[in-house]
Chains A and B, each alone.
Chain A
């Protein structure tokens, strides 16, 4: 059973546009929601993360929006650039858990055309 559902699988955006990637979850015990960015030939790296006590977190051009009641969260990339072309993974975990599990979505391959 997939713990975190991510869409779309691929996304093509023109330079300067807004990229939006969505994720949904069912487990209400999840309380930590990171996004990872992966460039070709590299391992994923933490991009930005949010906890459910806030509805939005912004770091530069990257914003996470969180809707606790809908159990959804999304990544918005403003003014998308060719250098943002990568695979993006959303994830979720129970930070109060000692089980050490971080559940990933299936990823979104973003291509930003110049």
Chain B
């Protein structure tokens, strides 16, 4: 089954304790991205990756790191989490061909990771 898998789905942690949210896709997608969803603010892009070893900042990258060592994996790292990073996080992937988003432009989302930082 084609899917984007995020782990953990739920996490409560404390300020300053490093954590990693993993994301894996089995669709051989080149493009992957992280979003955070907050009430009234919608989906805001944190980081994205056009391919292995190619990453770039989105709209709200502060306090986050990413890496793309393998095509299927795109982990989100919070080196020193703070309460303002309490949010619902989504990983997404998309097929990219010829340097452009594929014809459908469809983003496939994971089911989300709800993070609470105390």
Q: Is A52 an interface residue (CB 8 A)?
A: no
Stretch at the interface among B14-22, B61-69, B73-81, B104-112: B104-112
Q: Nearest-CB distance from A107 to chain B (Å)?
A: 5
Instruction: Answer whether residue B2 sits at the interface, using C-beta atoms and an 8 A cutoff.
Output: no
- Whether a CB of chain B sits under 8 angstroms from the CB of A14 is no
Residue from A45, A98, A100, A104 in contact with B43 in the complex, judged by beta carbons closer than 8 Å: A104
CA gap between A95 and B99 in the complex, in Å:
10
How many interface residues does A have (CB within 8 Å)?
A: 26
User: In whole angstroms, what is the CA distance A89 to B50 when docked?
Assistant: 23
Contact in complex: B42, A104 (CB < 8 Å) = yes
Report B2 CB to chain A, min CB distance, Å.
12
B105 engages A102 (CB within 8 Å): yes
Q: Please give, as numbers and ranges, the residues of chain A lying within 8 Å of B33 by CB-CB distance.
A: 100, 102
B48 in contact with A100 (CB, 8 Å): yes
- A49-B104, A107-B43 known; 15 new pairs, CB 8 Å cut-off, are A36-B107, A43-B92, A43-B109, A44-B107, A45-B109, A49-B106, A89-B42, A93-B101, A100-B101, A101-B45, A102-B45, A104-B35, A105-B42, A106-B40, A107-B42
Residues of B within 8 A of A (CB): 4, 31, 33, 35, 40-45, 48, 50, 56, 58, 90, 92, 94, 96, 99-101, 104-107, 109-112
